[in-house]
Amino acid sequence: MLSRQRLFWRLRPYDLPGSDRAFLQACRDNCAYHIRRCPGYAKICKHLGFSPAQLKTIADLAKIPVLPTLFFKRRTLFSMSPQRMAMKVTSSGTSGKYSRIGFDWGCILAEAPMVINLGFRHHLVSPKPAHCVILGYKPHKSNHTGVTRTMFGLTHFSPPLSRTYALHMVDGSYVPDLDRVARALKRFERSHFPTRVIGFPSYLWFGLKRMEELGLRVKLPKDSRIILAGGWKQHSDQEVDKSTLYALVEKTLGIPEKNINELFGAVEHPVFYNTCERHHFHIPAYGRIIIRDPDTLEPLPMGKVGLINLISPLMCATPTLSVMTDDLGYLTPGEKCGCGIKTPYLTILGRVGMSGIQTCAAGASELLGKGEAF
């Protein structure tokens, strides 16, 4: 699918109007591909009266059938045989259920220039080797979660000197070892090379609080960075605002706010969203976002709060052209940010709480992923 590669190999990652044509063409081709190859997706388009020919302007993207991530947790849809896929990845399954998403080689070929392009743009790429501290899972053959692979991938933006993980597999389950992390940070303080702390914001917060309690402070070498990914997940009730977290980072690790990057993405939508220097997620040319009315799913104008609909023609193995997370958020015009990037930026307000549902209706707990056993 050349139209997809044309879009993802574009060199100007934040030129939305300039990429509209290529984006639309890639979406038309992607949608047609899934209709041809995935009977379930074809049924959905037919039932909802949609065909790729209806995509004439960028506003028409709202007409593409929207598949909630919740749907991918209940049904597995593939548009290619699993043998032809590059890999299969699962979401982290905070609520007990997870999506199974297949990645094709063409998707990986398209992701590479996007990640490199945005990596340079957001100062993630550096030739200087670095020690990596990963506040996440150490890869293990039984772990297929996208976030584990993403965090491992992120260690390659600079040549990795070492990798220290916070979560290790012991007897079949992951256990945290924050002391090991604290010892490593102490060691890296004296290194000639910078350190990169990559991980879940929740673990960074818990780890820093623990260091603060123990009276531990380090001053990591110049050019050290924090790269956050994966969101707060099951710890969302303890989420703190960014400025509180960043202030503690500066105090405890000696890393200035400008060296903190946050990433956003989903297994179902692996577009590489990065925060700008003002910590906003601007929409890159590889994706589009529609905010939808929580009550009607109709598109909402800029600034209104609603469900986040993510659109990207990135994947051929799984029909994830237009997906909807269970997060609420809103868009703000890019000019209001002031960082220089002109595309609108997304603010995520948090989950609507599908995973917190308590139920005793027959069959419902199984549906919500809570009924496998006791």
Partner 1 sequence: MIFANGKLLPDSARKTILDGLEAHLNAVRMAPPLEAEVVIAAVDALGKRLQSGEFAPLLSQFLPAGVTLDQLLPLLSREALEAKLSAELGPEPFASREFAKTTARTLPLGVLFHIAPGNMPGLPVYTALEGLLTGNINLVKLPHGDKGLSLAAFGALTEQEPRLAPYLYAFDLPSAQREDLEALAALADGLVVWGGDGAIASARTLAGPGCKLIEWGHRLSFAYVSGYEDEEAELSALACHIVETGQRLCSSCQVIFLDSSDWEAGAAFCRKLLSHLERAAAKRPGPGRGAMASLSGHTALLERIVDGRAEGEALFQGRGCAVILRPDRELELSPMEGNVLVKLLPQQELLPVLRRQKGRLQTAGLICAPGQREALTGRLLRAGLTRVTRAGSMSASFPGEAHDGEYPLRRYLRAADVER
Query: Coil, strand, or helix at residue 78?
Result: coil
The residue from 179, 212, 335, 366 that contacts partner 1 (CB under 8 A) is 366
User: Of 191 and 365, which CB lies nearer to partner 1 in the complex structure?
Assistant: 365
Name the minimum Å distance from CB 236 to partner 1: 10
Write the DSSP symbol of residue 191.
Answer: -
> What does residue 77 show for φ and ψ, rounded to 5 degrees?
-115, 130
Within 140-199, the residues that bind partner 1 by CB under 8 A are: none
User: Of 106 and 306, which CB lies nearer to partner 1 in the complex structure?
Assistant: 306
Write the DSSP symbol of residue 275.
Answer: B
Within 344-363, the residues that bind partner 1 by CB under 8 A are: 352-354, 356-363
> What does residue 124 show for φ and ψ, rounded to 5 degrees?
-85, -30
Within 272-331, the residues that bind partner 1 by CB under 8 A are: 294-297, 305-307, 324, 326, 328
- Largest Cα separation within the chain, whole Å, is 63
Name the minimum Å distance from CB 371 to partner 1: 4
Considering only CA atoms, which of 137, 1, 357 is closest in space to residue 9?
1
Within 77-116, the residues that bind partner 1 by CB under 8 A are: 77
Question: Among all chains, which residue has been given the structure tokens 């000197």?
Answer: 161
User: Of 259 and 322, which CB lies nearer to partner 1 in the complex structure?
Assistant: 322
Which two structure tokens, joined as six digits, stand for 362? 């027959």
User: Of 335 and 366, which CB lies nearer to partner 1 in the complex structure?
Assistant: 366
Within 217-256, the residues that bind partner 1 by CB under 8 A are: 237
Name the minimum Å distance from CB 90 to partner 1: 18
> Nearest-5° angle of CA 127, CA 183, CA 143?
70
Q: In what order do the strands lie in the sheet with 160-170?
A: 173-176, 160-170, 130-137, 195-199, 225-228, 260-266, 269-274
Contacts of 189 (CB under 8 A, 6+ apart): 218, 219, 220, 221
Name the minimum Å distance from CB 75 to partner 1: 6
Instruction: Note whether 133 and 195 are within 8 A (CB).
Output: yes
Q: Which stretch binds partner 1 (CB under 8 A): 142-150, 203-211, 253-261, 366-374?
A: 366-374
Task: Rule CB under 8 A: say whether 124 interacts with partner 1.
Answer: no
The residue from 74, 128, 183, 219 that contacts partner 1 (CB under 8 A) is 74
Q: Which stretch binds partner 1 (CB under 8 A): 69-77, 142-150, 223-231, 256-264?
A: 69-77
The residue from 12, 21, 36, 43 that contacts partner 1 (CB under 8 A) is 43
Instruction: Note whether 346 and 266 are within 8 A (CB).
Output: no
With contacts defined by CB under 8 A, how many residues of the chain interact with partner 1? 45
Which two structure tokens, joined as six digits, stand for 55? 């995509």
Burial 247-266 (b: 16+ CB within 10 A, else e): ebbeebbebeeebbbbbbbb
- Other residues' Cβ atoms within 10 Å of the Cβ of residue 119: 19
User: Of 95 and 224, which CB lies nearer to partner 1 in the complex structure?
Assistant: 95
Q: Which residues bind partner 1 (CB under 8 A)?
A: 40, 43-44, 47-48, 65-68, 70-71, 74-75, 77, 237, 294-297, 305-307, 324, 326, 328, 352-354, 356-367, 370-374
